[in-house]
Amino acid sequence: MSTEPAPASRRPGAPAAAGHVAAALGTLAAVALLVRGSLGDGLYLFRDFVGVPSPAAPDGLLPTTSAALRAWPLDGVTWALSGVVPVGVQQAAILVGALLLAGLGTGLLVARWGPAPAVAASWLAVWNPYVAERLLLGQPPTLLGYACLPWVVLVVRSRRSGPARVAMLLVVAAPAALTPWGGLLVAVAAVLADLTRGDRSPRRAAVVAGVGLAWCLPWLVPALLADAPAADPDGAVAFALADDSGLGTWLSALMGGGVWATGARPPSRTDPVALASSVALLVLAAGGLLVLARRYPSRALVGAALLLAPATVATLASGPLVEAAAGLQRLPGVALVRDQHRLLAPAVLAAAVLVAVAVRWVGARGGRPAAAVGVGLVIFLTIAAVPDLPRLVRAGYHPVAYPGEWGDVVASVRTADGSPPIVLSLPWQPLRSATWAGPAPFLDPLPRALPDEVLTSSSLTVRRGESTVVVDDAPRSDGADWGAGRVSPESLRRAGVTHVVEWLDTPGAPVADRTGWRVVLRGEHFAVYDVATRR
């Protein structure tokens, strides 16, 4: 049974040209609906996605803490560009760019089939439970890895010469390489895509692997040299997949959901209409697999593996093999994949391509009217699967302005003798929730603003069913006391603390005793104390 496009599109190059335009327009429409109301002056402070007006210069090219390593080299690039491009603009570029790259790249993968499949693939790559839940975690930088996958495939499987492919590969992988996870993801994808070429060779695969290793070196070298503690094995349990649909962990993952954080799950994930829409899209993807199997069995096997393997592996690692996954956390690099939900990226994009195959098949039989109905159905189902996504994006991603006293806080942390201060940020908890920033919690941004060592809590409490799991990759012996507000002179001395910056309008236990602390600055939202004499 043929899967060729309708006769009207048989002119050489016509389907591809129309598909390119359609992919661009479809992506722009989907992204515009999602980020409408999220752009403007200011900075984003939403969960993991935080920026400061004037980021401090990094100590060097070799971060030494686990928290700094997770944000490297992105933090270094942000600082380097901040003198030319405001941090808020950089954040907006990451948010919008991740969505645009994902939609356009996936649409271009199928553009040769014509406009209807290209639009279907673009919409599904931009608007799905996976993207929704990564955004609600505050992880647009993580989505850069997801977004670069189709571009890596396009370049590696292109007909360009070897040197040209390598040069373009470096370009399209650059956004993903801003984070350790993104760099690793696209490096693996590049090698696998090269191995699917008909002219594959061990030598060229080794070259591609070497190029992928090269863009990972900015974080890989400091990770190997840093004396950072091993990852908390409890992270395997805390960040395992969850059943966020009520249909089981595996099916939730197949639909692109299953994130571990309850606060990052769209309320619509349990809505019957939304779930039915997600299941319908899976059925369409399965139909695309059947179409491929009839003419291209090998491609169908690759498609099935990409669609099913990530959800299956992640479900096993989150359930029957969770203890084994916990034991592996102490090995270098394994913590990169402890967030099982991140592993679903290839499957989500594979589903988008397979749905496009189904739309192409419909158009080949019914012509343009059938293709239009098919792509309209796909767009309807993608929106219905996560109907609250635009509202949730607007609620979380709204630019805010730091209070005027923020600059005074940063400037006031200085020692009398000019030695590097060590700053304790209180209350002792990793997340802040300030009245001036809105209701959403966000990571403490103080370490990004001060050039000095800043002590912040790395303890994260994750609710799993009826129980809670506490993950702390860098626990401190005084952490429990500091979390309860008991900050003694002895504990300050042990940590070498010279200054305390206290957030005055954020949840957390207040300090019980500040005897001997010298007030350096006290404003409406912050207080800065010199505690060097009390250590």
pLDDT value at position 534?
A: 59
374 domain residue, yes or no: yes
Instruction: Count CB atoms within 10 A of the CB of residue 172.
Output: 21
Neighbours of 202 (CB within 10 A): 8
- The answer to whether residue 16 scores a pLDDT higher than 60 is yes
Indicate the residue among 349, 368, 396 that finishes a domain: 396
How would residue 1 be classed by pLDDT, with cut points 50, 70 and 90? very low
Model confidence band, residue 7 (pLDDT cutoffs 50, 70, 90) = very low
User: In this structure, how many other beta carbons lie within 10 angstroms of the beta carbon of residue 332?
Assistant: 13
Residues 210 and 103 in one domain: yes
Quick one: what percent of the chain has pLDDT higher than 90?
Answer: 79
- Of all residues in the chain, what percent carry a pLDDT higher than 70? 96
Domain boundary among 334, 368, 396: 396
Domain shared by 382 and 410, yes or no:
no
Same domain flag for 102 and 212:
yes
The model's pLDDT over 258-279, given as tens digits with 9 standing for 90+, comes to 999 999 999 999 999 999 999 9
Least confident of 154-163, 191-200, 227-236, 437-446: 227-236
For 190-234, what is each residue's pLDDT tens digit?
999 999 888 888 999 999 999 999 999 998 888 888 766 677 888
Is it the case that residue 12 has pLDDT exceeding 70?
no
Q: Is residue 321 part of a domain?
A: yes
Distance of alpha carbon 28 from alpha carbon 98, whole angstroms:
12
Q: What is the mean pLDDT of the chain?
A: 92
Residues in the chain: 535
What pLDDT is recorded for position 151?
98
Q: Above 90 in pLDDT, residue 58?
A: no
Tell me what the mean pLDDT of segment 489-493 comes to. 95
CA 287 from centre of chain: 29
Share in percent of the chain as helix, strand, coil (round to 5): 60, 10, 35
What is the tens place of the pLDDT at every residue in 524-533? 999 999 998 7
CA distance 288 to 290: 5
d(CA 254, CA 44): 31
pLDDT bracket for residue 418 (50, 70, 90): confident
Domain end, chosen from 396, 429, 459, is at: 396
Instruction: Looking at the structure, tell me whether residues 86 and 156 fall in a common domain.
Output: yes
* Beta carbons of 126 and 99 less than 8 angstroms apart: yes
Is 418 found in the same domain as 376?
no
Element (H, E) at 207: helix 202-225
Q: How many domains does the chain have?
A: 2
For the stretch 373-395, pLDDT in tens is 999 999 999 999 999 999 999 99
Confidence of residue 337 (pLDDT cuts 50, 70, 90): confident
The model's pTM is 0.94
Q: What integer pLDDT is reported at residue 228 of this predicted model?
A: 65
Query: Parallel, antiparallel, or unpaired: how do β-strands 45-46 and 467-472 relate?
Result: unpaired
Banded model confidence at residue 13, pLDDT cuts 50, 70, 90: low
Q: How many CB atoms lie within 10 A of CB 361?
A: 25
Q: How far is CA 174 from the centre of its chain?
A: 15
Phi and psi torsions of 500, nearest 5°: -120, 130
Give residue 219's Cα distance to chain centre.
17
401 within domain boundaries:
no
Domain shared by 223 and 102, yes or no: yes
Task: State the first-to-last Cα distance of the chain, in angstroms, to the nearest integer.
Answer: 80
From 174, 191, 192, 171, select the one nearest 183 (Cα to Cα): 174
Quote the domain boundaries for residue 473.
406-534
Cα–Cα nearest to 528, from 508, 498, 492: 498
Q: Is the peptide bond before 73 cis (omega within 30 degrees of 0)?
A: yes
Query: Does 14 score more than 90 pLDDT?
Result: no
Query: Dmax of the chain from CA atoms?
Result: 84
Q: Report whether pLDDT(126) > 70.
A: yes
195 in the same domain as 305: yes
Let me know if residue 416 belongs to a domain: yes
Q: Note whether residue 181 is domain-resident.
A: yes
Q: How confident is the model at residue 3 (pLDDT cuts 50, 70, 90)?
A: very low
Residue 315 in contact with residue 251, Cβ under 8 Å? Answer: no
Give the pLDDT score at 416. 81
More confident residue, 10 or 464: 464
Query: Is pLDDT of 4 > 60?
Result: no
Q: Stretch 56-62: mean pLDDT, rounded?
A: 82
